Amino acid sequence: MLRVVVVDDEPLALEILAGYLKETDNIQSVTLFSKAREALQYLESQNADLLLLDIEMPEMTGIKFLEQLSDPPLTIFTTAYRNYAFEGFELGVIDFLLKPISFSRFSTAIGKVQDFLALKLHDTQLESEELAPEFVFIKSGVNRIKLQFNEVTHIQGLKDYAIIHTAKEKIVIKGSIKMVQEMFPLSLFIRVHKSFLVFRKAIKRIERNRIVMGSLQIPIGRNYREGVEKSLGM
């Protein structure tokens, strides 16, 4: 059950998001704010599972807002400006919704949040003592799962966790993406962003500052661009 806080200075945007949340299962509470400073004060004393946050606001930007929170909840940026996606991923947001937001796209983003929170409960870890050139073992409770590296498409860092994406499933493990990178061979994976590690053979197309993998778009960080181009022979 999600406790959700929505911050947006546009009344219509608040109304639309509130309506979408009413149509969404497993929502415990929804608290709406049109003023960023009031929302900051609220989050200093109240817990939330999810923050839906606009970026362009008169009092402060959503980016500045997020930077002022010492322990922000999972965050989805909502904005009319596509160019903010990179700043969002730098701050560890779980998704980025471009206005006008369709209910279908909104539901996908909420699904990511719910999946992440559910998978966190599995207490899943990588087993560093059994490294191999082609696979790694993952411990989940009493089970041990053999994960082939070539099954992984990409890995996203999110706060103190990493989400391993394969074609069939997502695996959430406790630990930073830096820790994961040390256990996944550089011959097979490349760091393309502060928050993303990508399987080299999965990279089929690059458009400007992002990797396009079907409907998925992974940003290439400014500090990683040169290394990515050199590594891929571009």
Residue 159 burial (CB count, 10 A):
14
Full residue range of the structural domain in which residue 100 is found: 2-120
pLDDT tens digits, one per residue of 44-63: 999 999 999 999 999 899 99
Check residue 207 and give its pLDDT.
Answer: 86
Q: What is the CATH number of the domain that holds 162?
A: 2.40.50.40
Q: Model-level pTM?
A: 0.80
CB proximity list for 193: less than 8 A, separation 6 or greater = 89, 218, 219, 220, 221, 224
Q: Is the dihedral of CA 146, 149, 153, 158 positive or negative?
A: positive
Using DSSP's 3-state secondary structure scheme, residue 49 falls into coil
Residue 181 burial (CB count, 10 A):
17
pLDDT tens digits, one per residue of 158-201: 888 999 999 888 998 888 888 888 889 989 999 999 999 999 99
- Report if residue 216 sits inside a domain: no
- Report if residue 217 sits inside a domain: no
Q: How many domains does the chain have?
A: 2
